[in-house]
C-alpha cells in the first residue's frame, strides 16, 4: 500500500488553496456539510420533537435535519430543544433510535472535541487499548484541535489526557503519543529546503546508515514538522539518500505500535485525505463492515476534508465510496452516511 502512497499517489497539495470572499482571502472549504441557509433552531427543535414523539418515530425527518445542519447549528438546536422540552435531545434520541443509526446520530450531536474525547475514552477503557484510534486522532488533528481535546477530556472524564496515555502505553510508542499531545507541530505551508535536507540526512544517519532506527530522533522530526515540510524531506530521502524509502525502512526495522504510528505520520504528511480513504476502504472490504470506522471518519471529517477523501477514494479504488456504502449498509443508517458523503 505504501507503493501506492509514495510512488503512484500524488501528494496532497491543496493545503494552502485559498479563495477570495468579499475581498478577503479564505481557505477553500473541502467539507461536505455546510451551514444550512435560513437556519432556525426553534423550528428545527420543534420538528425533531414531533418526529421523536410521534407514534412511529420518523427517522427520515430526524436524518434530514441533523445531516443538513453543521455542528454549530446542531449545538444550537440541542440548546433550544432542552429549553423548550425540558429533555436532552440525546436522551430522547437514545430512546427513539437503535443500533448504528443511534450511534451515528449521537456522534453528530457532539462537538468535534467531545467526539474525539469520547473516542479516546472508549479506546482506552475497553479490554485492551485500541492504539490505532489513538494514533489516528493524535496524528490527524491540528494543534488547536488537540488542545481542545485535552481540555474537554479533562472537563468530561476527569484525568489529564497525558496521564491516561501514560497509563495505557509504554516505550517509544508512549513517547511518540506524548510528543503529539504537546500540540506544537509546525503548521505553516512554506517549506524550508535547508531544514528538509538536514532532516533527511539525520533520518538516514539515524536509520539506514546506522543499521538500526533511533526512535527518539524519528519522533523528534516526524511529530514536529508540518505536512508540506515532511513531504519534502521524504522526497529528498527517497531521491538522494536511502537505498529504500523511509516507509520501507520503518516496515523493515520496526514492529508493533511504534511502526504503525510512524507509518501513519508519513502517510498523513504525504496525503491525509488518501489516508482516510484507505481507512474507509479497509472498513468495508471483505466480509463484515467496521461501522465504528465509518461513523468516526465520516462524522469527524464532514466539515474538514471529506470532499477530498471522497475524491481520493474514487481515484484509488476506481469507484465512488457511496457505491461501497450502498453495498455494505442499509436503511436509515445508510441514508445518514450517504448524506454525509455528499452527492457523487
pLDDT tens sequence across 292-306: 999 999 999 999 999
pLDDT tens by residue, 203-221 = 999 999 888 899 999 999 9
Which of 117, 115, 107 lies closest to 161 in space, CA to CA? Answer: 117
The residue segments making up the domain with residue 78 are: 41-97
Output 231-240 pairs: Cβ under 8 A, ≥24 positions apart. 231/11, 231/269, 231/270, 232/191, 232/193, 232/196, 233/196, 233/199, 233/200, 233/203, 234/6, 234/200, 234/266, 234/269, 234/270, 236/196, 236/197, 236/200, 237/200, 237/203, 237/204, 238/6, 240/200
Residue 226 DSSP SS3 = coil
Phi and psi (nearest 5°) for 18? Answer: -135, 160
Looking up residue 84, the CATH number of its domain turns out to be 1.10.220.10
**Core vs surface per residue 189-205: b (16+ CB within 10 A) or e:** eebbeeebbebbbbbbe
Q: What is the C-alpha to C-alpha distance for residues 95 and 58, in angstroms, rounded to an integer?
A: 13
3-state helix, strand, coil in the chain (%, to 5): 70, 0, 30
Which of 222, 277, 312, 263 lies closest to 13 in space, CA to CA? Answer: 312
pLDDT at residue 84 tops 70: yes
The answer to whether residue 157 is domain-embedded is no
pLDDT tens by residue, 221-251 = 999 999 999 999 999 999 988 888 999 999 9
Phi and psi (nearest 5°) for 25? Answer: -85, 125
The answer to whether residue 59 is domain-embedded is yes
The answer to whether residue 47 is domain-embedded is yes
Beta bridge partners of 25: 20
The answer to whether residue 152 is domain-embedded is no
Give the number of domains in the chain. 1
Q: Which triple of cell numbers denotes residue 336?
A: 445518514
The answer to whether residue 212 is domain-embedded is no
Record the pTM.
Answer: 0.93
What average pLDDT does range 82-94 have in this prediction?
96
pLDDT tens by residue, 109-134 = 999 999 999 999 999 987 778 999 99
The answer to whether residue 314 is domain-embedded is no
The answer to whether residue 127 is domain-embedded is no
Higher pLDDT among residues 244 and 177, named by residue: 177
- Give 256: exposed, middle or buried? Use CB within 10 Å, 0-12, 13-18, 19+: exposed
Average pLDDT of the chain is: 92
Alpha-helix residue ranges (DSSP H) falling in 54-127: 59-67, 71-85, 89-96, 99-109, 112-125
Other CB atoms within a 10 A radius of the CB of residue 273 amount to 23
Amino acid at each position: 500500500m505504501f507503493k501506492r502512497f509514495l510512488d503512484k499517489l500524488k501528494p496532497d497539495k491543496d493545503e494552502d488553496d485559498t479563495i477570495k470572499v468579499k475581498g478577503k482571502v479564505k481557505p477553500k472549504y473541502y467539507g461536505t456539510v455546510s451551514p444550512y441557509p435560513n437556519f432556525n433552531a426553534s423550528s428545527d427543535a420543534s420538528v425533531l420533537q414531533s418526529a421523536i414523539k410521534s407514534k412511529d418515530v420518523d427517522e427520515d425527518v430526524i436524518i434530514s435535519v441533523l445531516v443538513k445542519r453543521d455542528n454549530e447549528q446542531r449545538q444550537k438546536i440541542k440548546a433550544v430543544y432542552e429549553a423548550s422540552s425540558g429533555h436532552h435531545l440525546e436522551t430522547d434520541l437514545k430512546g427513539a433510535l437503535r443500533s448504528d443509526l443511534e450511534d451515528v446520530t449521537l456522534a453528530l450531536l457532539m462537538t468535534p472535541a467531545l467526539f474525539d474525547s469520547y473516542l479516546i475514552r472508549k479506546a482506552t477503557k475497553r479490554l485492551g487499548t485500541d492504539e490505532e484510534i489513538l494514533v489516528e486522532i493524535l496524528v490527524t488533528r491540528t494543534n488547536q484541535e488537540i488542545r481542545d481535546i485535552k481540555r474537554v477530556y479533562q472537563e468530561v472524564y476527569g484525568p489529564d489526557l497525558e496521564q491516561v496515555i501514560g497509563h495505557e502505553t509504554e516505550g517509544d510508542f508512549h513517547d511518540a503519543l506524548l510528543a503529539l499531545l504537546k500540540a506544537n507541530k509546525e503548521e505553516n505551508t512554506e517549506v524550508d529546503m535547508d531544514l528538509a535536507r538536514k532532516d533527511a540526512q539525520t533520518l538516514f544517519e539515524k536509520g539506514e546508515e546506522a543499521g538500526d532506527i533511533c526512535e527518539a530522533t524519528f519522533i523528534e522530526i516526524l511529530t514536529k514538522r508540518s505536512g508540506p515540510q515532511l513531504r519534502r524531506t521524504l522526497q529528498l530521502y527517497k531521491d538522494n539518500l536511502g537505498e529504500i524509502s523511509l516507509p520501507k525502512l520503518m516496515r523493515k526495522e520496526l514492529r508493533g505500535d511504534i511502526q504503525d504510528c510512524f507509518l501513519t505520520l508519513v502517510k498523513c504528511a504525504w496525503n491525509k485525505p488518501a489516508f482516510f480513504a484507505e481507512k474507509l476502504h479497509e472498513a468495508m472490504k471483505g466480509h463484515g463492515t467496521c461501522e465504528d470506522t465509518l461513523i468516526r471518519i465520516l462524522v469527524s471529517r464532514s466539515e474538514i476534508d471529506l470532499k477530498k477523501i471522497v475524491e481520493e477514494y474514487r481515484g484509488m479504488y476506481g469507484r465512488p465510496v457511496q457505491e461501497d456504502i450502498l453495498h455494505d449498509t442499509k436503511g436509515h443508517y445508510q441514508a445518514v452516511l450517504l448524506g454525509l458523503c455528499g452527492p457523487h
